[in-house]
Amino acid sequence: MNGPLSEARLQDFRENGYLIERSLASDATVGAMNAVIDETVKPALAPVEYEADVHYPGAPSSKLAPGGQTPRRLLNAYARDVVFRDWARSPEVVGRLQQMLSCEQVMVSQNHHNCIMTKHPGFSSVTSWHQDMRYWSFDQPELVSVWLALGTETPDNGGLMLIPGSHTLDLPRGRLDAALFLRTDIKDNETLIKNAIPAELHAGDTLFFHCRTFHAASQNDSQTLKKSLVYTYHCENNRPIPETRSANHADIPV
Ligand SMILES: O=C(O)CCC(=O)C(=O)O
């Protein structure tokens, strides 16, 4: 697992804008992470983003509405426990990122993602089609997110869907809505979305995806909480734009 990605796997990532590495995290690591999360999810240990904060389809309308206290993201994963830090800076993760990003010094951001995504049965929301670049302000749109499944993820429990190759598209602004989601009232977008594939993951599987790869996810229709750990990385020479949210906290060399 520690060895470098083969040229063919790297080429897959470059062509598709994502790559799934099976069983990259050990059972022991996944178990330790789940134990920390289970202890800190109810009541949710701050800082937390709630479903009610995102205003996505299906989210409770306010924190006072039924399900209004449902956490969507346990924020600041890197600071929460050493088990999360050790994963973020592990050779399995960093070595692959050095290859994907083509640089020696990789940085992990503390400013977005850097979280444990939770999707609760009953009160989860839909995330529409978007590129993560909508969250980021960097010199270059060259960032890679690393999504570690801590249990099974399928479309039925709100697992991610991705559009292969969409990281290379340069869509006119009119294809996106006010919040930079793909508009669903446009025929060309319908065709694009038809190419989506589900990222079916099991505990320990790790999805690497480019910040321009379009992805989406639905609600969790299962009876079980879905948990995933997510970090985003970039090269040291790709700097966050000063005074934006991307520059709020120092990036950490890994
Ligand atoms: O889990 C989800 O609903 C999708 C999350 C996502 O795509 C994101 O935060 O960028």
* In the predicted structure, residue 1 carries a pLDDT above the cut 70: no
* In the predicted structure, residue 190 carries a pLDDT above the cut 80: yes
From 3.40.605.10, 3.30.565.10, 3.90.76.10, 2.60.120.620, which CATH number describes the 7-253 domain? 2.60.120.620
Mean pLDDT of 6-30: 98
List, for residues 242-254, the tens digit of each pLDDT value.
Answer: 999 999 999 999 9
* In the predicted structure, residue 15 carries a pLDDT above the cut 70: yes
Ligand 1 atom closest to the CA of 126, numbered from 1: 3
Question: For the chain, what are the domain ranges?
Answer: 7-253
Ligand 1: centre distance to CA 42 (Å):
21
With a 6 A CB cut-off, is 226 part of the ligand 1 pocket?
A: no
With a 6 A CB cut-off, is 80 part of the ligand 1 pocket?
A: no
Ligand 1: centre distance to CA 218 (Å):
9
Ligand 1: centre distance to CA 105 (Å):
26
Q: What is the rounded CA–CA span in Å between residue 187 and residue 208?
A: 29
With a 6 A CB cut-off, is 228 part of the ligand 1 pocket?
A: no
Ligand 1: centre distance to CA 241 (Å):
23
Mean pLDDT of 54-78: 94
* In the predicted structure, residue 3 carries a pLDDT above the cut 90: no
Q: What is the rounded CA–CA span in Å between residue 28 and residue 51?
A: 30
For residue 47, whether the previous peptide bond is cis, meaning omega lies within 30 degrees of 0, is yes
Query: Could you give the percent of the chain with pLDDT greater than 90?
Result: 96
Pairing of strands 115-119, 206-210: unpaired
Q: What is the mean pLDDT of the chain?
A: 96
The model's confidence at residue 132, banded by pLDDT at 50, 70 and 90, is very high
User: Smallest Cα–Cα separation from 25: which of 228, 198, 204, 240?
Assistant: 204
List, for residues 33-61, the tens digit of each pLDDT value.
Answer: 999 999 999 999 999 999 999 999 999 99
With a 6 A CB cut-off, is 127 part of the ligand 1 pocket?
A: yes
DSSP, collapsed to helix, strand or coil, labels residue 209 as strand
* In the predicted structure, residue 2 carries a pLDDT above the cut 70: no
List, for residues 222-237, the tens digit of each pLDDT value.
Answer: 999 999 999 999 999 9
Amino acid in position 229: L
